[in-house]
Amino acid sequence: MSLQSDFKEIAQSSGRAALVTVVEVGEHGDETRVGAKLLVRPDQTTEGDLGHPQLDAAAVDFGEELMWAERSELREVAGTKLFVDVVAPPPRLMIFGAVDYAAALCRLATALGWRPFVIDPRGRFATRERFPDAEDVIVAWPEKAFAQLGGIDRATYIAVLTHDPKLDDAALTAALAAEPAYIGAMGSRRAQEKRRERLLAAGVSEDQLARIAAPIGLDLGGLTPEETALSVMAEVVAVRNGRDGGRLSAAGAGRIHEVGS
């Protein structure tokens, strides 16, 4: 089977990988050729080669970076141009707290092509009937839920929507122990400060606390569950795309929608 076929199979199975292809030869013209390919997997194992160790090493670095950034780009090494083609599954949104806001967030996330999961140890609230748009509803405490979902990776986004300190703190502590793309937590300024004090007392560092987006979401002035869900999804989409979520009319010069070079 060719590397292109392997890559296609990974894409069809909603996997993650990068296929790096030489599209223009530079200084390594004696060792590589246009069309040479290297397949990079999430664990950095590879198949194929580009003909030179420098190109192979660069391809692994580019593939590792871009498969988690979830974008394809043209890169260059010593005049040799490499196209890094990336496939990735839809991003996961892990929602802690089986509350009304979570139901609205599931609906919007699903409409945007994300995979929302609702997590709450309280089985009387965390039911499929209440969250029909969730990919799954997990009745478990955070650490066990993370394990059940295969762990947290760099394409996982976490929204903590409960107002129960026991659940909030457990979810945030477990999330901070991993490297998700985003951690957001709901709550008033006063609730945020009390949570901060509790987490500091539990041994969470200031640097770790700085990773939490709190209060969660963009400042849209929304009040309803649907408007709050829009605020949260706007923030996570902005984070995923490396933006700050400001108004386009105030963005100044440059591309509105960035594309790979």
Q: pLDDT (tens digit, 9 = 90+) per residue, 194-221?
A: 899 999 998 889 999 999 998 899 999 8
Q: Are 136 and 119 in contact (CB under 8 A)?
A: no
Q: For the domain 92-240, what is the CATH code? A: 3.40.50.720
Q: Give the residue among 123, 130, 85, 129 at the shortest CA–CA distance from 103.
A: 130
Residue 66 half-sphere exposure, CB side, CA atoms within 13 Å? 26
Mean pLDDT of the residues in the chain: 89
Amino acid, res. 158: I
Cis peptide before 165 (omega within 30 of 0): no
Q: Is the dihedral of CA 116, 135, 174, 194 positive or negative?
A: positive
| Sequence ranges of the chain with CATH classification 3.40.50.720 | 92-240
pLDDT tens-digit map of 83-140? 999 999 999 999 999 998 999 999 999 999 999 999 999 999 999 999 999 999 999 9
Cα dist from 152 to 21, 139, 155, 175, 183, whole Å: 30, 17, 8, 8, 11
- What is the phi/psi pair of residue 31, to 5°? -115, -20
d(CA 237, CA 40): 26
- What is the phi/psi pair of residue 19, to 5°? -110, 115
d(CA 127, CA 21): 46
- pLDDT exceeds cutoff 80 at 63: yes
